[in-house]
Structure 1
Amino acid sequence: MHMTCHELAKRLLTLQPSLLPTDVARLSLLILTQVSDADQLTDPAQLTTAWKNASFRLEAASDQHSAVADELESICSDGPTEFSPDQLWVLLRAVKVQSQLLELYTDQPSLA
């Protein structure tokens, strides 16, 4: 049996019916970039493993992104000032988190 993106999305919804369409799309992309052969996802055990791995990675990346976004928001709310060393570290972390998100979706090493 050949696993299509549509079939993968349907199977993900059976694993977690509460998923929003955007989450199904994200997880499908993450799963498909992590497996060498999409047909191996026809095995329920391999699909479940891939789904759990992708869900964990997506949740971790989302949490990191949210935390950095909050830090950046607090920096921006201070108005135009000179950046302190702590604020520069926040900016560097933001760049790193963004590069990790890009790497997560593309499965390619990022430059940051």
Structure 2
Amino acid sequence: MTCHELAERIHNLRPELSPSEVARISLLILTQTDDTMLLVDDDTLTRVWKNAAFRLDAAADQHAAVADELEQMCHNGPVQFTPDQLWTLLRAVKVQSQLLSLYTDQPALA
């Protein structure tokens, strides 16, 4: 199954989704699926779709939380980093790594 075919199926199942949402979920599904022929089955497609959406939501929530922490840290001005601030920076790198691996299906360095 090609990305275009998958996008058409998703659009037919959920016509209210915007083209960018269809493209995003198509990419996430394809990066998580080794055998795209399994996606011909509606139940399998729905299961993989829900898993991809859950992973994206979880990563987005983590990203928002870390972004808020970084924003608060930046308002403190230039100071020496405390251990807590270093952990915040490390979490930010890890979250970015998770988001990249979701979209690229490649392990990130962090």
Structure-1-length-normalised TM-score = 0.86
Unaligned runs of at least 5 residues, structure 2: none
C-alpha RMSD of matched pairs (Å): 1.6
Question: Higher mean Cα deviation, 50-59 or 72-81?
Answer: 72-81
Aligned to 1:77: 75
Unaligned runs of at least 5 residues, structure 1: none
Which of residues 29, 32, 35 is equivalent to 1:34?
A: 32
Counterparts of 1:24 and 1:72, CA distance in 2: 31
Question: What's the % identity of the aligned pairs?
Answer: 68
Write the mapping of 1:8-87 to structure 2, written as runs, cut at 5 A.
8-87=6-85
Q: Which amino acid aligns with 2:103?
A: Y
Superposition deviation, residue 18 in structure 1: 4.0
Aligned to 1:93: 91
**C-alpha contact (below 8 Å) 1:12/1:51 kept by paired residues:** no
1:61-90: CA deviation from partner (whole Å, max 9, x where unpaired): 111111111111111111211111111110
SS in 2 for 1:59: helix
Superposition deviation, residue 21 in structure 1: 2.8
Q: Which amino acid aligns with 2:94?
A: K
Counterparts of 1:12 and 1:99, CA distance in 2: 27
Between Structure 1 and Structure 2, how many residues are aligned?
110
